[in-house]
Amino acid sequence: MKLNETARIGLGCMNLSHAYGTPPPEQDAVALLNRALDIGYNHFDTAALYGFGANESLIGKAVSHRRDEFFLASKCVLVPDDAGKRSLDGRPETIKKTCDAALKRLSTDYIDLYYLHRYDKNVPLEDSMGAMADLVSAGKIGAVGLSEVSAETLARAHAVHPIAAVQTEFSLWTRNADIAVIDKCRELGTTFVAFSPVARGYLCGTLTDVNSLGERDLRRTMPRFSAENYPKNLELLTPLQEVAEELNATMAQVALAWVLQRDAHIVAIPGTTRLSHLQDNFEATGVTLSDLQWQRLDKAINDQQVYGRRYNDAAQADIDTENF
């Protein structure tokens, strides 16, 4: 199975193990992954970073017996260091070591799509890409992807080995990829994978109080979710709610439909820990916005209207994507 043969809504698996406070009990996560396959999801996205390997292990335990039913994507370069802290390491030997460990955790002998989770600028890009090409030649991965890179970096990497996918945050409130990356993906025949397409829950319309977020929730570090900015951002949601009512859809479904209608080569990978949201998200492919509705949302919620940056300084330092 190739990425362009999968459903346009895939499953981002990160929050089953990482980033959004206390993850669900393992038995619930296992049930959700299997339910996703039953519904029709056939693209699962994980990474070595998520839970420092725990997310890959979860997928291996939960659905490796159904391996032929889904396209599997994972990532390297963002890895835990010897002290158990997040580190950036794009050296060829680390990439290969990370892949071998991932294969073991995932209980599989191949990963369909393997991303450089970030571009480690301390290592020549051509060296990191050479390691990825070696993994393809060894049959350990099927294709190479990049995450959070600029159009220039994409072109450089593609000159070493074809890039099957670029994964970047993209939603109504995050449009960095509109500057150049989406166009470059179209030019090169690269699939664009939108992560956080419902803006980490913001576009669902249900997160009304950021004080309810757990102490370990990643959103607490993000300026858009600050106590000062988030109430202002909530005021921007009225047009999204109105369009959802017009279409008899959820706000999340409308937000996903907006992303998918941006370009035919885009797929989205929303994450969730709830079975009801799992079903709703997958059914977003059946929601069609009129041109007027799409443009109305386009103008109502975007980088110019939103209050706050998407990342703090520390997180932004690892990002190569163009900025407004």
CA nearest neighbour of 42 among 66, 16, 65:
66
The whole-angstrom separation of Cα 21 and Cα 214 is 5
Q: Which helix (H) or strand (E) holds 292?
A: helix 291-300
Predicted local distance difference test score (pLDDT) of residue 84: 77
Predicted local distance difference test score (pLDDT) of residue 21: 85
Within a domain: 227: no
pLDDT band with cut points at 50, 70 and 90 for residue 135: very high
Predicted local distance difference test score (pLDDT) of residue 324: 87
Q: What is the mean pLDDT of residues 47-66?
A: 97
Q: Which residues are catalytic?
A: 50
pLDDT tens for each residue of 144-173: 999 999 999 999 999 999 999 999 999 999
Within a domain: 239: no
Predicted local distance difference test score (pLDDT) of residue 247: 98
The overall average pLDDT reported for the chain is 96
78: domain CATH number is 3.20.20.100
Within a domain: 83: yes
Q: How many domains does the chain have?
A: 1
Query: 103 lies in which domain range?
Result: 3-201+259-287
Query: Any idea what the Cα angle at residue 150 is, between residues 59 and 291, rounded to 5°?
Result: 85
Q: What is the mean pLDDT of residues 84-112?
A: 96
Within a domain: 318: no
What are the two backbone dihedrals, phi and then psi, of residue 152, each rounded to the nearest 5 degrees?
-65, -45
Sheet holding 191-195, edge to edge: 11-12, 43-45, 71-76, 111-116, 141-147, 163-169, 191-195, 266-269
Q: What is the mean pLDDT of residues 242-256?
A: 98
Within a domain: 317: no
pLDDT band with cut points at 50, 70 and 90 for residue 215: confident
Predicted local distance difference test score (pLDDT) of residue 80: 85
> In whole angstroms, how large is the CA radius of gyration of the chain?
19
Predicted local distance difference test score (pLDDT) of residue 85: 83
Within a domain: 112: yes
